[in-house]
Chain A
Amino acid sequence: MNGADTAFVLISAALVMLMTPGLAFFYGGMVRVKSALNMLMMSLISLGIVSVLWVLYGYSLTFGDDIGAGLLGNFDHIGLKGITVDTLTGGTEGIPVFAFALFQLMFAVLTPALMSGALADRVKFSAWALFITLWVSVVYFPIAHWVWQSDGWLFKLGVIDFAGGTAVHINAGVGALAAVLVVGKRIGFKKDPMRPHNLPLVVLGAGLLWFGWFGFNAGSALAANGTAALMAFNTQIATGAAMLGWLIYERIRHGAFTTLGAASGAVAGLVAITPSGAAVNPFGALLIGVVAGAVCSWAVSLKFKLGYDDSLDVVGVHLVGGVIGTLLVGVLATGGVGGLSQLGKQAVGAFSVMAYSFVVSWILAKIVDATIGFRASEDDETSGVDMAYHAESAYDYSAVGGSPSGRSSVAAASQDETAAVAAKIKKVDA
């Protein structure tokens, strides 16, 4: 066992874990006050659901031995059966499979959470939970197998997807688009102002994503080596460049350097550099970043022109950024790899994931809609899904109007306390 690699991958797993709460903040700040908690919960719930599915059958379907044709893993490792503390990836210099499985689990958690931004404000929480349960099982696990398992058909084809341009970002972007087409627009889309309620929260989220992304990208080397170092370096360069690309486009087109633009540009860069990994040099990373920043900044306006309500721009950032990164690495890959033939392979990877993910996601969304109903009622949507599904509100604006209902002992105790304080005041008055 390689101790240094093991330590690095375990730390990377923790870094990637932090991306899901980071994403929750990133999205949560962008919605209106009435659905802020729901937006956070749509991401958080993935940490619960996917962790459970991963141990039940997710790991086995993704990284189990291929059942044939490179399409899916078998059921040999259900419940992580057959894996002990001594089971290593590769030869004697590998890392424990438990470290690898934990690291990969965090990717499976993050990917469905990415889609939540497209469906902000308007879906039933139970329907969302069911949707991501089905989606991760039927869409994510197979595609991750295609791309990352050594018998997966895209892996064998030679598609470069270092950390998830196809399996994570294109996949989530297209899945989100399909779900939006089933669920429909928010009430008041294009008519009501739907301003982000808390931009500082968005910046906090973007910061956590940027931080965690070092684990996502560099950790995908699965070893503490030069590849990981170059990937970490490229991640920083592309992200910084993309932030500038977005801001410059925005300043020219809309007249201001916006905070939301800086945060969004950074995420677009992170997405775009994900597939290339160490296959490009730092100058290639810089190019990928600038292009992704500027193009995504333009792409987020498409939803208004085309009329689909991708509320928080999952398509404009993750699908577009993922495609840019996946295709550009075909051209910019170093070591004599880049060129027309590699570009062709990259295109096959991108478009096969798009086609499969779109069709299956659309069918799954339809199934959810036909059985339990995907969409919140008009009343719940208008007054806010936080109240409807979580019985909470994100911010306490005023102490006026709340009173304990007496249903819990805490409430009862605080009532007693209030009475005691009232008695004391009376005494002082007298």
Chain B
Amino acid sequence: MKLITAVVKPHRLDEIKEALQAFGVQGLTVTEASGYGRQRGHTEVYRGAEYTVDLVPKIRIEVLVEDGDAEQLIDVVVKAARTGKIGDGKVWSVPVDTAVRVRTGERGPDAL
């Protein structure tokens, strides 16, 4: 199994969710994240005092998939997340040793 993690622009979440559903993904986890890449942060002004805000809001999406689906699923996420502008984010995958469905105790791919 693989854990696919995508850190992307928040407003792309709906497209990504729909694309994943169309692909047949049963579940995913979404967390609000903040960070920066090459685009860095932005500047805000409060009564003339300028603050550089380094961390910009992002959405972190995590999906567990079987090994065979991983590459294709990454492509689906990347396509749905892309706007072509700087700051679109990153997608990566890491191997996962085991997964258990808490309710039934099923293990491995059966738990997905």
**Complex contacts, A331 vs chain B, CB 8 Å:** none
Contact B47 A193 (CB under 8 A): no
Q: Is A352 an interface residue (CB 8 A)?
A: no
Considering only residues 19-61 of chain B, those with a C-beta below 8 Å from chain A are 44-53
Docked pose: A24 CA to B35 CA in angstroms: 33
Contact B47 A195 (CB under 8 A): no
Q: Is A254 an interface residue (CB 8 A)?
A: yes
Considering only residues 238-290 of chain A, those with a C-beta below 8 Å from chain B are 250, 253-256, 258, 260-261, 264
Contact A253 B44 (CB under 8 A): no
Interface residues of B (CB under 8 A from A): 44-53
**Complex contacts, A264 vs chain B, CB 8 Å:** 47
Docked pose: A261 CA to B49 CA in angstroms: 11
Docked pose: A192 CA to B48 CA in angstroms: 15
Contact B51 A260 (CB under 8 A): no
Closest A residue to B44 by CB, please name it: A195
Docked pose: A193 CA to B46 CA in angstroms: 10
Closest A residue to B45 by CB, please name it: A254
Considering only residues 100-156 of chain A, those with a C-beta below 8 Å from chain B are none
Contact A260 B47 (CB under 8 A): yes
Contact A300 B44 (CB under 8 A): no
* Minimum-distance CB pairs A-B, first 6: A193-B51, A254-B45, A300-B47, A301-B48, A260-B46, A256-B45
Docked pose: A254 CA to B50 CA in angstroms: 8
Please list 27 pairs of residues, one from A and one from B, whose beta carbons are closer than 8 Å in the complex, sorted by A's number.
A193-B51, A193-B52, A193-B53, A195-B44, A195-B46, A195-B51, A196-B46, A250-B45, A253-B48, A254-B45, A254-B48, A254-B50, A255-B45, A256-B45, A258-B45, A258-B46, A258-B47, A260-B46, A260-B47, A261-B47, A264-B47, A297-B47, A297-B48, A301-B47, A301-B48, A301-B49, A313-B47
Which one of A193, A195, A196, A250 contacts B48 once the chains associate, using CB atoms below 8 Å?
A250
Q: Is A304 an interface residue (CB 8 A)?
A: yes
Docked pose: A260 CA to B51 CA in angstroms: 14
**Complex contacts, A254 vs chain B, CB 8 Å:** 45, 48, 50
Given A193-B53, A258-B47, 8 other A-B contacts at CB below 8 A? Answer: A193-B52, A250-B48, A253-B48, A254-B50, A255-B45, A260-B46, A264-B47, A300-B47
Closest B residue to A261 by CB, please name it: B47
Docked pose: A260 CA to B47 CA in angstroms: 7
Docked pose: A195 CA to B52 CA in angstroms: 11
